[in-house]
Amino acid sequence: MDANVKNNQLMENDAVQKVSDMMKEHYPDAGQDYSLLLEQMGQMAQQLDHALKELAEIEVQLRNAHESPVKKYVSHTVDLTENRFRSMSERLTELKGHIVENAKETLAKVKQMGVKALDKVFSVIGIKKMLEILQDEVEKSVRDIGKTIEKVETVGQELRSVGGHLKNVGRVAIGKETIAVDGGMEGRFQSKIVSSLRLEEKILGKMNDLALGAIESVDRLGRSAERVSEEKQTDKSKEDVAKDRKEKPSVMKDLQEKKSQVIMAIPAVNKEKAKAQEAAL
């Protein structure tokens, strides 16, 4: 596979860039959508890389934390999310590979047939299903992380409440004012892990928006393909009409010539009849 695709640099691929430029020149609206799709794909890859790095930070926090129900619950979510990220990465690479191959095939066709072969670019609408699957995976990860945040916050609140209650009971017993507590080391771990999970949730939220935007871009490309097809049919119909108009005068000319020949032949026939009648007398 092209090195640029593996490195998430789809916009820098030579074939893709050339096709993008030609699309903007000959199909301006579709060209803008095509360029936007490329940008959205690149940004999705960047967000996924960011999400993977943040997930690695969360894993470090988990390794350094004491065993607890919270750690076990978060670890389960992290494992599930990591598997989804691996699937997303593979799907993104597949999507970008499809676009690159499409661009290369389009350039080859353009060399043979001219710019009219650019309509082959519209075949990228076939990636819509792949984008929808990717977006679904991102959305599920966002929901799972949201649930995990809620769970950790609930447990943390209970921990702080219980810890604070026990400490404050003792302070009240000796006549001191009550104080706010943070739940100890476990409470601090939960606070830090929640902060990391929230950042992960935010990153994936952006990626989800990009995936939805990419689906919309593909839909617009599909509508552009329909318009181009309709325009081609209209142009073809116009050519057929022009051809018919060109042929019809020719047919009329032939009919006129045949008619003239018949008319010219009539006096000759009458002349022969007259000679025959004279001979009979």
pLDDT at position 21 is 93
- pLDDT, averaged across the chain: 78
**DSSP code of residue 68:** -
For residues 142-160, give the mean pLDDT.
81
CA distance 83 to 55: 11
Predicted structure pTM score? 0.72
Say yes or no to pLDDT of 18 above 80. Answer: yes
CB 204, CB 138: distance < 8 Å: yes
Kindly state the average pLDDT of the residues 29-41.
Answer: 92
- Which pLDDT value is given to residue 156? 63
CB-based contact 105:120 (threshold 8 Å): yes
Q: How confident is the model at residue 123, as a pLDDT?
A: 72
Q: Which residues contact 158 (CB under 8 A, 6 or more apart)?
A: none
Mean pLDDT computed over 254-277: 53
pLDDT in tens, 88-131: 999 999 999 999 999 999 999 999 988 888 877 777 778 999 99
Instruction: Give Cβ neighbours of residue 96 (< 8 Å, ≥ 6 apart).
Output: 5, 8, 10, 41, 45
Compute the distance between CA of residue 93 and CA of residue 89 in angstroms, rounded to an integer: 6
Please say if the pLDDT value at position 157 is more than 50: yes
d(CA 257, CA 253): 6
- Residue pLDDT, tens place only, 161-171: 544 444 444 44
